[in-house]
Amino acid sequence: MTRKQRELVPGLPPGTLYPPEQERTGQPAKLRLLRYSRTELFEQDDISLSAALAALAANIPDAVLWLDLVGLEDLDCLHQLGQTLGLHPLALEDTLNPNQRAKLDFYPDHLYLCLKIPRWDGEKNHFQQVSFFLQNNILLTLSDSAQDYQQPVLLRLRQENGQIRKSGPDYLLYTLIDAVIDNYFPWLECLAGHADELEEAVLQDTDRRMMQEIHRLKREIVTTRQHLWPLREIVMSLARDDLGFIQPGTVPFLRDCYDHCLLQLEILDSCRDVVSSLMDIHLSNLSIRTNEVMQVLTVISTIFIPLTFPVGVYGMNFAVMPELKWRWGYAACWLTMLIIALIMLVGFRRKGWLGGQKNILKSGKAWRFPVILSLEDYVKRAGKAIMFLSEVKGGSRSSPADKNAAADTAEAVDKQKKTDNGQEN
């Protein structure tokens, strides 16, 4: 994975807004404004900077304002937003640093959060940086390109009875953090799947490209862990916030994010152990393959060593050698050498030097522990879960429509099961 290079200018004062080192698109920054409360939602895309600054200055107390900035090339836009909200210049400087480590900083009137989100472009994975500023009832998000992780949050936000509409900006920040964490699961599944494929291939292939692929996987795991490890501490620090940025009702949800981070780190640690063992196995296979080649060459040399004895004896130029005048002497010499070679081959095979080892496994297939779950049990479980969620949602009982839907589904499964049993009979 190539690390983004950043030109360094020694001597710059702290808080200097330095543009990120990336391809210049020349496009202005895009701003999206969302203002919501329990009863209303106002959403506007591609608003101007002046309109955004006016909305920030209005600051309606009973509403939550979410301002999303895409594109970090316009330093003047970022500077004016920082001046309007009173953002710390060091936090703004970290926002423009693409190699910034995930971090959380608390300031007297706002907090700054920097996270990394994995992105797969079809050929390789890279991590994009997203930044968050939380101040009173305002949440400001910044990124260098459009982020699709926000789409599920926007869908939930557009629901009138959603939990986000009933909560403050701290809950909105939690939902975005949770969306970032959830985006790691597909990437971790990809890493784990690739590790399993390499584990099966490393026992069959000793090509040097195998070591390159193992090393590449190891680098991806290390890079991912570097971004996930501080995320765990960030979430726990938010849950233990004593400055009032996070409300007590949001703390249990942050603890759930913390559990997800621990699970992801455990998956990464397992993948790292597998990759380390793959390197050892690959090197061992190379050594075994070399030993096998040397063993074959040694066996061939060993077979020809006794054959050189009769050839050497009868190759001497003595005048009196009765066997040389024997009619069947040539054929007897060949027959003797073949018998010696066959006896040695049989002995080598019995000792296991030319194969012939007994397979200690009765079956060459890998162990499989199937998870057997009937369709009836699954639907009944899902139906009960749907009914349970409907009952606990908002403290009200489930609606008759939900119960009827679950009952109809279970009844349909019972009919299908009876039909299948009739066909079998």
pLDDT in tens, 150-187: 888 888 888 878 888 888 999 999 999 999 999 998 88
Of the three residues 99, 132, 163, the one that is the final residue of a domain is 163
- Reported in sequence order, the residue ranges of 162-268 that DSSP labels E, i.e. its strands, are none
Assigned domain for 266 exists? no
Residue 55 pLDDT: 86
Taking residues 334-351, report their average pLDDT.
85
Give the SS3 label for residue 393. helix
Structural tokens at position 280: 């050892």
Which of 152, 166, 161 has the alpha carbon at shortest distance from 63? Answer: 166
Of the three residues 163, 180, 209, the one that is the final residue of a domain is 163
Assigned domain for 352 exists? no
Assigned domain for 346 exists? no
Distance in angstroms (rounded) separating the CA atoms of residues 62 and 171:
15
Residue 404 pLDDT: 57
Structural tokens at position 395: 């403290």
Residue 66 pLDDT: 93
Sign (positive or negative) of CA dihedral 74, 79, 84, 90: positive
Assigned domain for 259 exists? no
Assigned domain for 20 exists? no
pLDDT in tens, 97-139: 888 889 999 998 899 999 999 887 767 778 889 999 999 899 9
Q: Which residue range forms the structural domain that includes residue 415?
A: 375-424
pLDDT in tens, 37-84: 888 888 888 888 888 888 888 877 788 999 999 988 888 888 899 888
Assigned domain for 360 exists? no
Mean pLDDT of the chain: 78
Domain count, the chain: 2
Which of 51, 43, 96 has the alpha carbon at shortest distance from 71? Answer: 96
Residue 417 pLDDT: 56
The model's confidence at residue 19, banded by pLDDT at 50, 70 and 90, is low
Residue 414 pLDDT: 62
Residue 112 pLDDT: 94
Residue 59 pLDDT: 73
Residue 145 pLDDT: 82
Assigned domain for 62 exists? yes
The model's confidence at residue 398, banded by pLDDT at 50, 70 and 90, is very low
CATH code for the domain in which residue 43 is found: 3.30.460.20
Which residues are paired to 277 by β-bridges?
Answer: none
Residue 368 pLDDT: 44
Q: In this model, does residue 90 exceed pLDDT 80?
A: yes
Residue 351 pLDDT: 76
Residue 381 pLDDT: 62
Q: Which of 28-32, 161-165, 230-234 has the highest mean pLDDT?
A: 230-234
Of the three residues 163, 194, 223, the one that is the final residue of a domain is 163
